[in-house]
């Protein structure tokens, strides 16, 4: 398997245990196809999910999987856990053990969790420079007011990490309910931010990541594959 991105000639030389001169000959003889087309360019860049054949025999065929799950409260965002059911336990796909989680949720948080085997996609979603927003619906014990909106927008200093949170958008939906949009994911971030107001979060639900919105047809515990459009447009 090619690890992330690699040049075609390097991949073939390594895979077939031959010299790059021999690879050039193979290409000149039209023996290699990349994603169904005869490969001519030794410098062509391929990745883990590029389909490659040699003499019409498949030598690399890895499928990228992208799943959205409606995580229920009480399920842990991990692949293994001694105590609790994990998000993987909820999936029935034969390839589920290849997947990793893109941005965890706390045990008592529900909502959208993405899983994939495509580490380049997940890295992109979690890199700060892409500023992929995550939208949460938050229920609170005490009444909200405009002071919350300003404090979330200004950012809050977390001494434990010695950081100030990035500007977050808080919209008051009702007296005890808000929508919060974050572009980062600090440990227990939303609960800690409301903690500054001594206002306990009574329920927390992630509604979207980037442009991908949790499918309202998915009951808690259910999942589905993302569409190609969702995969490609998520971080716009």
Interface contacts to ligand URA, rule CB under 6 A: 105-106, 109, 188-191, 204
Angle at 63 between CA 5 and CA 35, to 5 degrees: 65
Asked if 106 is an active-site residue, the reply is yes
Tokens of 61: 């065929």
Residue in the block written with tokens 């796909």: 93
**Residue closer to ligand URA (CB basis): 10 or 191:** 191
Min separation Cβ 60 and ligand URA, Å: 37
Contact 205, 140 (CB under 8 A): no
Min separation Cβ 162 and ligand URA, Å: 19
**Residue among 81, 106, 162, 215 flagged as catalytic:** 106
Best CA proximity match to 47, nearest among 99, 11, 100 = 11
**Residue closer to ligand URA (CB basis): 64 or 73:** 73
SS3 159: coil
Contact 111, 207 (CB under 8 A): yes
**Residue closer to ligand URA (CB basis): 109 or 223:** 109
Catalytic residues: 106
């Amino acid at each position: 398997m090619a690890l992330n991105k690699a040049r075609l000639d390097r991949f073939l030389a390594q895979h077939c245990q031959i010299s790059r001169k021999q690879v050039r000959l193979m290409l000149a003889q039209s023996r290699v196809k990349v994603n169904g087309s005869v490969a001519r360019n030794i410098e062509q860049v391929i990745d883990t999910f590029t389909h490659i054949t040699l003499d019409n025999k498949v030598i690399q065929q890895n499928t990228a999987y992208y799943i959205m799950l409606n995580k229920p409260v009480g399920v842990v965002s991990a692949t293994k856990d001694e105590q609790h059911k994990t998000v993987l336990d909820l999936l029935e796909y034969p390839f589920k053990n290849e997947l990793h989680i893109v941005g965890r949720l706390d045990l008592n948080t529900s909502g959208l969790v993405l899983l994939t085997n495509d580490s380049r996609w997940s890295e992109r979603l979690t890199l700060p420079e892409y500023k992929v927003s995550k939208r949460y619906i938050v229920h609170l014990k005490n009444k909200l007011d405009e002071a919350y909106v300003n404090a979330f927008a200004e950012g809050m200093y977390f001494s434990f990490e010695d950081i100030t949170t990035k500007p977050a958008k808080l919209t008051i939906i009702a007296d005890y309910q808000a929508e919060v949009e974050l572009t980062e994911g600090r440990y227990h971030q939303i609960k800690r931010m409301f903690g500054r107001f001594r206002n306990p979060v009574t329920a927390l639900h992630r509604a979207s990541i980037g442009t991908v919105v949790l499918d309202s047809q998915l009951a808690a515990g259910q999942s589905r594959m993302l569409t190609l459009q969702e995969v490609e447009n998520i971080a716009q």
